[in-house]
Amino acid sequence: MAVGADAQITDLTVDDHACLTFGEPEDLFDLTAAFVRDGLACGLKVVWVSDSAPQRATLELARRGIAVESALAAGQLAAAECEGRLLSGQEFGAGRAMDWLTAQMAACQQEGFPGLRVAVDMSWALRPVTGVEQLPEFEEGVAAALAGSTVSVLCQYDREGFDPVTLATVSAFHTRSVAAATYYADPMLRICRQYAPPGIRLAGEIDYQQAEPLTLALTEAIRFDGDITVNMTALAFIDGSCARMIVDAARGLAAGRTVVLQCHPGIEATFVLLGAGDMAGVKLVSEHDR
């Protein structure tokens, strides 16, 4: 991992040219959803050029609480593919890509939006695409175009896919680097913050030996306002001790706030047996299609 993170996705402001590194699709969708959500909330126009089909992209946003339908209908949100925007017939040209971006900026102004947020998944550059060597030139162009504007761009790089040299080269053109806040990561377990909906995400296997990072993650999550999601859909094992910590954290929340426990049925059973099923402020959401 060549690029450290110096900002949270929720800290981004206008004219930021941020470099997001992500480790897994969950990360990408979560952080993008937060970027889109905050942009829409500020009345900005939001465009996501994703590596997946636009329908999949908007579905992932909707799953994370974004009012996709109304934003699309109002022309405030657009989901697009790389082809025809950054790429033309699997060929990349920095000049053409910049033309697309400046056209977007002009259109946004014409449509009367106070600003624009663009998220661009760079995973296309991992495939055999001609002109990929112009990527740094494009990033440099973006940096120049954004200065003093009301436009921010979030370039999304797959941490596993891009080599450290490329990441280091392109990151120099960005004003900030962004990644999910991670409380714990080893081959068995990952505990990180979730941004949309706000909370934490656990993946792998957790037992009492990781009580400390779990406590820290829960404590920080509780400091957010409103409801909190503990996303355990990618969790294969949780012991009684950690399940109890999560239940106790939920119990300690102020009245009116809810902790949503999202997990598959095997994990859900442990929480039900611990009495979480009829506890005020706890909502169990079972994902049968893990």
Partner 1 sequence: MTDRARTEVAGSGQGAAAGDGEPPALDQAFDGDSLFALRATVAAHGSRAGLSEGRTRDLVLAVHELAANAVRHGAGQGRLRLWTAPDRVRCEVIDDGADGDPAGAEAADAALWHVEPGHGLWLVRRIADEASVQSDPSGTVAAVSFRLGTTGPPAPFRLDRRAEGGCTILAVTGQLDLGSSGEFGAAVGDLIAATPGLRLILDMSALTWWDSSGLAALITAQQRISHDRSARMIVACLPGPLTERLHEAGLASQFTLADSTAAAVAALTSPG
Given the rule CB under 8 A, which residues bind partner 1? 188, 205, 207-209, 237, 239-241, 244, 247, 265-266, 268-270, 272-275, 277-278, 286, 288
What Cα–Cα distance (Å) separates residue 34 from each residue in 60, 139, 150, 211, 237?
12, 22, 18, 27, 28
Q: Are 179 and 50 in contact (CB under 8 A)?
A: no
**Shortest approach of partner 1 to residue 282 CB, angstroms?**
12
- Closest CB to partner 1 among 123 and 270? 270
Residues in the chain: 290
**Shortest approach of partner 1 to residue 246 CB, angstroms?**
12
How far apart CA 77 and CA 46 sit, in angstroms, is 5
Residue pointed to by tokens 């996303």? 231
Q: Which residues contact 248 (CB under 8 A, 6 or more apart)?
A: none
Q: Are 64 and 30 in contact (CB under 8 A)?
A: yes
Burial of 236 (0-12, 13-18, 19+ CB in 10 A): middle
**Shortest approach of partner 1 to residue 160 CB, angstroms?**
23
- Closest CB to partner 1 among 225 and 278? 278
- Closest CB to partner 1 among 95 and 275? 275
- Closest CB to partner 1 among 4 and 187? 187
**Shortest approach of partner 1 to residue 209 CB, angstroms?**
6
**Shortest approach of partner 1 to residue 238 CB, angstroms?**
9
**Shortest approach of partner 1 to residue 147 CB, angstroms?**
50
- Closest CB to partner 1 among 257 and 264? 264
How far apart CA 118 and CA 200 sit, in angstroms, is 25
- Closest CB to partner 1 among 86 and 242? 242
Beta bridge partners of 189: 204
Q: Are 81 and 54 in contact (CB under 8 A)?
A: yes
**Shortest approach of partner 1 to residue 248 CB, angstroms?**
9
Select from 95, 100, 101 the least CA-distant residue to 17.
101
How far apart CA 283 and CA 95 sit, in angstroms, is 50
**Shortest approach of partner 1 to residue 263 CB, angstroms?**
11
- Closest CB to partner 1 among 120 and 282? 282
Q: Pairing mode, if any, of strands 116-121 and 151-158? A: parallel
- Closest CB to partner 1 among 224 and 237? 237
CB atoms within 10 A of CB 129: 16
How far apart CA 127 and CA 97 sit, in angstroms, is 17
